[in-house]
Amino acid sequence: MLIYCHGFSSSGQATKAQILRENFPAGSVLAPDLPYEPLSAVETIIKTARESIRKSEILLVGSSLGGFYALHLHQVLGWPALLLNPTVDPIGDTGRREQMESHFEEDALAAWRDEYTDQIRTLYHPAETIDSRNLFVFLNRNDELLDYKKAAAYFKVSNCRVTFSDTGGHRFENFITLIPTVRAIYDEIRRR
């Protein structure tokens, strides 16, 4: 089962979730709407996995803030994860308010509460503790929201597999080109 973890101010109906649904068998892709509250978002992902009819191996596919959540679950539960332009520093990244305002709706930014920042801190894993097994990172160099170099440096510390692309931006508009790779990773996980 693939579980798509969307980014901030997105939903389970995001384009990447739809692409996954179109390219994998019916029922094998779940994409819950994640709440803004970080701990609730992580709990929603766990609950989605536990309530699934399919008990096959899980592959998390996380984008942006959803990538941060997927990385956390990879670390604490050992679930394989494929990360797309993940934020590795949500607190620092959300601190750039002017840049955030041009990408997210005002309502979404207003929904973020101060206590959520404390929750993010509890989900953070230092770079040197990252388990690189079954972790796949994809970064677009032209990400207009997050500095891909920050994520590249973070994952380099633990020798994670990182694949770079020059195009696609933050929304990973080139995601369709990764479907054969996602399928190969998923098939390998299911064979174990």
Q: How many CB atoms lie within 10 A of CB 145?
A: 19
Closest CA to 112 of 171, 72, 65, 160: 65
Question: Are 91 and 150 spatial neighbours (Cβ–Cβ below 8 Å)?
Answer: no
Q: Which residues of the chain have pLDDT under 70?
A: 53-56, 94-113
Bridge partners of 59, per DSSP, are 2
The span from the CA of 64 to the CA of 85, in Å, is 5
Q: What is the CA radius of gyration of the chain?
A: 15
Which DSSP string corresponds to the chain?
-EEEE--TT--TTSHHHHHHHHHS-TTSEE-PPPPSSHHHHHHHHHHHHHH-S--SPPEEEEETHHHHHHHHHHHHH---EEEES--S-HHHHHT-HHHHHTTS-HHHHHH--HHHHHHHHHH---GGG---TTEEEEEETT-SSS-HHHHHHHHHTTT-EEEEESSSTTTTTTGGGGHHHHHHHHHHHHH-
> At 109, phi and psi to the nearest 5?
-65, -35
What is the rounded distance in angstroms from the CA atom of residue 46 to the CA atom of residue 76? 11
Predicted local confidence at residue 97, as pLDDT? 45
What CATH number does domain 2-191 carry, 1.10.730.10, 1.20.59.10, 3.90.1010.10, 3.40.50.1820? Answer: 3.40.50.1820
User: What angle do the packed helices 179-191 and 15-23 form, to 10 degrees?
Assistant: 60
pLDDT value for 156: 97
101-126 confidence digits (pLDDT tens): 445 455 544 556 678 888 999 999 99
Name the burial class of residue 164, with classes exposed (0-12), middle (13-18) and buried (19+) by CB atoms within 10 angstroms of its CB: exposed
Instruction: Specify the pTM.
Output: 0.90
